[in-house]
Structure 1
Amino acid sequence: MYSMADATQKYSITMPRDIAEAARARGGSSGLSSYVTAAVARQLERDNLAEIIAVAEAEHGPVSDEEIRDKRETLRQAQERVHREGRTTQ
């Protein structure tokens, strides 16, 4: 992720006014730049993940729907466990 200590550069971007105003409102006290930076960072993470998946699928073949369901269930159970454990330690 990025930090505000990272070097910054001013850029000019163009986007629809309604999107810019909604982002400005969501940015709150952090501001539009901070909100847009976080959104672009998330998109870069998604793009990088898509590239990793494409390479893995090219090497090992596509992931089946069943494998996806199994992994989602494993993740759901792990999140549930963390949530339960978090409540008991507070």
Structure 2
Amino acid sequence: MATKKVTIALDGSMVESLAGAAEKEGIPLSRLVAGAAERELRLRAGRAIVQQGQAEHGAFTPEELAAARAEMAVADA
């Protein structure tokens, strides 16, 4: 994938925190920020899929939500 250099404005303390996290992981700051952006885009895509499903089939029931939370807890373990 081709990269493109961009300029963004972030709060100074945010930059310091991100730079520290990148250094701790031994990766470039740009890779850390790119990874965060990729996760955000995946979350947004997932939310859109859920919203579309609910629009077509109705809101989730409490039982469906509980089952989904249980599956996520197992996946996170």
Q: TM-score, normalised by structure 1?
A: 0.73
In 2: Cα distance, 1:39 partner to 1:55 partner:
24
Gaps (5+ residues) in structure 2?
none
Q: For 1:41 and 1:47, how far apart are their aligned partners in 2?
A: 10
The change in CA–CA distance for 1:16 and 1:74 in structure 2 (over 3 A counts) is closer
How many angstroms apart in 1 are the aligned matches of 2:8 and 2:34? 12
CA RMSD of aligned residues (A): 1.9
Residue pairs, 1:7-86, within 5 angstroms: 7-28=2-23, 29-77=26-74, 79=75
Larger relative contact order (Cα-Cα within 8 Å, sequence gap ≥ 6): 1
**Deviation of the 1:64 alpha carbon:** 1.8
Give ranges in structure 1 of 5+ residues lacking alignment.
1-5, 84-90
Structure 1: distance between partners of 2:6 and 2:71 = 42
